Structure 1
Amino acid sequence: MKTVIDLDDELLDRARRELGTKSKKDTIHAALRLVAERSERAQAIRELLAVDQDWAGLLEDDKTPRGEQDAA
């Protein structure tokens, strides 16, 4: 569907840089997708936080280069 709207060029450019998109159309679609999927991401985070896990240790493991993890 085609729609004519006035856009804030500075805001659009900031979104383009943040999203890594090239065209106005791609930027707007990516931004809409990001907002539309926000509740799904929030639910996934809630489910992860509900798991009884030592997340601090997991984060530390993630910071260790792969070669060092294998040696440990």
Structure 2
Amino acid sequence: MKTVIDLDDELLERARRELGTKSKKDTIHAALRLVAERSERMEAIRELLSVDRDWTGIVGDDKVPASEKDAA
């Protein structure tokens, strides 16, 4: 659907850089998708937080190459 709207050029440019998009259309679609899927991401986070586990260091562990994990 085509819609004519006035956009804040500075805000659109900031969103484009943040999202890594090339065109106005791609930026707007990516931003709309991000907002539309927010509740799904929040639900996934709630589910992860409800798991009884110590999550300390889990992200850092994922960044260590397998060869270095074996050596430790």
TM-score, length-normalised on structure 1? 0.90
Rounded to whole Å, the distance in 2 between the matches of 1:59 and 1:21 is 27
Single out whichever of 31-40 and 51-60 deviates more from structure 2: 51-60
Deviations 1:6-27 (A, max 9, x none): 0000000000000000000000
Rounded to whole Å, the distance in 1 between the matches of 2:63 and 2:56 is 11
Q: Which amino acid aligns with 2:66?
A: R
How many aligned residue pairs are there? Answer: 72
Matched, 1:4 2:12: no
C-alpha RMSD over aligned residues = 1.3
Where 1:56 maps in the other structure, the secondary structure is coil
Structure 1 spans left out of the alignment, 5+ residues: none
Structure 1 residue 57, shift from structure 2 partner = 3.4
Percent identical: 82
Rounded to whole Å, the distance in 2 between the matches of 1:30 and 1:46 is 24
Name the structure with the higher helix share.
1
Structure 1 residue 68, shift from structure 2 partner = 1.1
Instruction: Please show how residues 50-69 of structure 1 align to structure 2 within 5 Å.
Output: 50-69=50-69
Where 1:70 maps in the other structure, the secondary structure is helix
Partner of 1:40: 40
Rounded to whole Å, the distance in 2 between the matches of 1:2 and 1:56 is 48
Structure 1 residue 50, shift from structure 2 partner = 0.3
Where 1:40 maps in the other structure, the secondary structure is helix
